[in-house]
A and B are shown apart, each in its own frame.
Chain A
Amino acid sequence: MTPDIKIDHDERAAPAIPRDVQTEEMIFNLGPQHPATHGVLRVVVRTDGEIVLGCQPLIGNLHRCAEKIIESLSYVQGLPYVDRMDYLGSLNNELGIALVVEKAAGIEVPKRGQYLRVITCEINRVISHLFSAGQFGLDMGAFTPFLYMFREREEGILLLNEITGGRLLYHYIRYGGVTRDAPEGWLGRVVKWCDVVDGHLDEYNNLLTYNRIFLNRTCGVALLQKDVCLKYAATGPILRGAGIKRDLRKDMPYSSYEDFDFEIPVGPFEHGVAGDSWNRHRQRLYEIEESLKIIRQACANLPDGDVGNRKVTRAWKAPPGEAYVATEAPRGELSFYFISDGGRKPYRMKARGPSFNNIAVLETEARGLMLADLIALIGSVDITLGEVDR
């Protein structure tokens, strides 16, 4: 059954289209099986022809009670579930939950473990951004850059596969460290991969980012300016693309991010205005460059030692306490709030997924766009439905 759809009939925010001709409004169901919704997002769109008058994202099709499942399993058992929230940035999710538990329990992570976390998480961020940028191009009708980006993404996946054992859902970071040390020669291959990605960034940019049609489609389109981002607590590339310099890796460094020298790119860039689709897309490509810098530094300075804290065993229980940790995931601020009652399960594990907040902008900010621009908005905000619904 269709849920009760209420769409805001407030016309104040509606576009200034000449209403000379008496037309009828149409209700479109964008999704849940629509190629542009990247999963099972359903957006009910009220349009006048091609112009969006109102829209409401309906989420929850992928709801799996991730938080409750984690609360009902022991510490070790809960970790693989976190991977499945933002499945494009699994390691970043794992890092978040590991950090919050470690903070609450006061566990020290050896430096080598921290560096390995940084390397793998940044590889994952690059992979995720390559995917996001590619699928945004795909939404704009450019198929080829998508596959070029997938080529480099595949190489990154193979690197992560080698160290973690998984291709998409890594289950690598554990409480107290990481599962496994880097295999022989892995660091060298990572650095080589960084060079490969660096070399191909120009290709993506010339093929897609600076293409006239792409610029026309995205510059000044689907504007999410500073105030809107702050109002909706939208974070990540959206916020930085809108011109607010906030990156938790710099602002509240965690897991040794303070050791690395990197920039935070902030929009507006060469074209468009701050906060438009183009700047969000460009933001991601710039962030890839910065992540590659971090990976190179971490690989060069990887300290010796253990990769994990040996105090944390399989039957480990966190002492009573609570903690809140926010991390910078590829899609924005991913934070966990954790309470332990000293039992063998977490008492409470609340996750704040960035996609969930980011998707909220659709409801008001889609007004007045054309249908094709709505696709640009969804594509450039870049949500993962696994994280929205959890």
Chain B
Amino acid sequence: MSPEPLLFWIFASVCVVGGLMAVLLPRIVHAVFSLFLCFCGVAAIYAVAGADFLAVAQLVIYVGGVIILFSFGILLTGRTATSLGPKEVRNRPFGVALGAALFLGLMSAISAGGFKVGTADVGEPTTESIGKLLLGDYIIAFEFASVLLLVALVGAAFLVRRTQT
């Protein structure tokens, strides 16, 4: 009766197709926007699974941050319209091999990991518990992570600003 299996398969295929397109499309801008599609699919899968905080965080961070920065960077560089050159094509077999190895490794890890397959209770909203964990038990780690990010940010700004006369 529940439409969740259908929705899962739809969004999962969106993810897979988006991911494949991101890898295979020759134009780099198309690849970025395929990645956007893939991320949206992942967010939708989270939403279907009832992890609404994760879904929205996925949207905020990956769509609102990563993809926008990617596209901004690509818009600023000149090679938007060009296809990948011959050098990249020569490297393709290595990439395929690497990807296949990674895929196999992950699959074996997952199958050996003993994940339980079954229907979980997804009615419980996760936001509150995540908030309590982040700002309660793991507050030190959380703050360290944010300070680290701040340092990285300042460092990046410092490094980029090479000469100022």
Chain A contact residues, CB within 8 Å of chain B: 18, 20-21, 23-24
Which of the 9-residue segments B24-32, B82-90, B109-117, B156-164 touches chain A? B156-164
Cross-chain contact of A23 among B76, B161, B163 (Cβ < 8 A): B76
Instruction: Write 11 A-B pairs (CB below 8 A) sorted by A numbering.
Output: A18-B161, A18-B163, A18-B164, A20-B160, A20-B161, A20-B162, A20-B163, A21-B76, A21-B160, A23-B76, A24-B78
Closest to A23 in B: B76
Given contacts A18-B163, A20-B160, A21-B160, 8 further A-B contacts (CB under 8 A): A18-B161, A18-B164, A20-B161, A20-B162, A20-B163, A21-B76, A23-B76, A24-B78
For the complex formed, measure the closest distance between the CB of A14 and the CB atoms of chain B, giving whole angstroms.
14
For the complex formed, measure the closest distance between the CB of B80 and the CB atoms of chain A, giving whole angstroms.
11
Chain A residues positioned under 8 Å from B164 (CB to CB): 18
Chain B residues positioned under 8 Å from A20 (CB to CB): 160-163
The docked-state distance in angstroms from the alpha carbon of A24 to that of B161 is: 19
For the complex formed, measure the closest distance between the CB of A270 and the CB atoms of chain B, giving whole angstroms.
35
The docked-state distance in angstroms from the alpha carbon of A20 to that of B162 is: 7
The docked-state distance in angstroms from the alpha carbon of A18 to that of B163 is: 8
Chain A residues positioned under 8 Å from B163 (CB to CB): 18, 20
The 6 lowest CB-CB distance pairs between A and B, nearest first, are A24-B78, A20-B162, A18-B164, A20-B160, A20-B161, A23-B76
For the complex formed, measure the closest distance between the CB of A165 and the CB atoms of chain B, giving whole angstroms.
56
Chain B contact residues, CB within 8 Å of chain A: 76, 78, 160-164
B interface: dominant SS: loop
A interface: dominant SS: loop
The docked-state distance in angstroms from the alpha carbon of A23 to that of B79 is: 11
Chain B residues positioned under 8 Å from A24 (CB to CB): 78
For the complex formed, measure the closest distance between the CB of B53 and the CB atoms of chain A, giving whole angstroms.
37
Closest to A19 in B: B163
The docked-state distance in angstroms from the alpha carbon of A320 to that of B163 is: 69
Chain B residues positioned under 8 Å from A21 (CB to CB): 76, 160
For the complex formed, measure the closest distance between the CB of A243 and the CB atoms of chain B, giving whole angstroms.
32
Closest to A24 in B: B78
Closest to A18 in B: B164
Closest to B79 in A: A24
For the complex formed, measure the closest distance between the CB of B61 and the CB atoms of chain A, giving whole angstroms.
25
The docked-state distance in angstroms from the alpha carbon of A142 to that of B164 is: 37
Chain B residues positioned under 8 Å from A23 (CB to CB): 76
The docked-state distance in angstroms from the alpha carbon of A20 to that of B165 is: 11
The docked-state distance in angstroms from the alpha carbon of A305 to that of B136 is: 96
The docked-state distance in angstroms from the alpha carbon of A20 to that of B160 is: 7
Closest to B161 in A: A20
The docked-state distance in angstroms from the alpha carbon of A20 to that of B157 is: 12
Closest to B78 in A: A24
The docked-state distance in angstroms from the alpha carbon of A386 to that of B162 is: 49
Chain A residues positioned under 8 Å from B78 (CB to CB): 24
For the complex formed, measure the closest distance between the CB of B150 and the CB atoms of chain A, giving whole angstroms.
22
Chain A residues positioned under 8 Å from B161 (CB to CB): 18, 20
For the complex formed, measure the closest distance between the CB of B107 and the CB atoms of chain A, giving whole angstroms.
42
Closest to B164 in A: A18
The docked-state distance in angstroms from the alpha carbon of A21 to that of B76 is: 10
The docked-state distance in angstroms from the alpha carbon of A221 to that of B162 is: 28
Chain A residues positioned under 8 Å from B160 (CB to CB): 20-21
The docked-state distance in angstroms from the alpha carbon of A190 to that of B143 is: 73
For the complex formed, measure the closest distance between the CB of B159 and the CB atoms of chain A, giving whole angstroms.
10
Chain B residues positioned under 8 Å from A18 (CB to CB): 161, 163-164
For the complex formed, measure the closest distance between the CB of A288 and the CB atoms of chain B, giving whole angstroms.
45
The docked-state distance in angstroms from the alpha carbon of A389 to that of B57 is: 59
The docked-state distance in angstroms from the alpha carbon of A20 to that of B76 is: 14
For the complex formed, measure the closest distance between the CB of A11 and the CB atoms of chain B, giving whole angstroms.
15
For the complex formed, measure the closest distance between the CB of B95 and the CB atoms of chain A, giving whole angstroms.
27
The docked-state distance in angstroms from the alpha carbon of A24 to that of B81 is: 14
Closest to B76 in A: A23
Chain A residues positioned under 8 Å from B76 (CB to CB): 21, 23
For the complex formed, measure the closest distance between the CB of A196 and the CB atoms of chain B, giving whole angstroms.
50
The docked-state distance in angstroms from the alpha carbon of A21 to that of B163 is: 11
The docked-state distance in angstroms from the alpha carbon of A20 to that of B163 is: 7
The docked-state distance in angstroms from the alpha carbon of A24 to that of B160 is: 18
The docked-state distance in angstroms from the alpha carbon of A21 to that of B164 is: 13
For the complex formed, measure the closest distance between the CB of A382 and the CB atoms of chain B, giving whole angstroms.
34
Chain A residues positioned under 8 Å from B162 (CB to CB): 20
Closest to A49 in B: B76
The docked-state distance in angstroms from the alpha carbon of A104 to that of B162 is: 67
The docked-state distance in angstroms from the alpha carbon of A278 to that of B152 is: 43
For the complex formed, measure the closest distance between the CB of B101 and the CB atoms of chain A, giving whole angstroms.
36
The docked-state distance in angstroms from the alpha carbon of A21 to that of B72 is: 14
For the complex formed, measure the closest distance between the CB of A135 and the CB atoms of chain B, giving whole angstroms.
32
For the complex formed, measure the closest distance between the CB of B78 and the CB atoms of chain A, giving whole angstroms.
5
The docked-state distance in angstroms from the alpha carbon of A18 to that of B157 is: 14
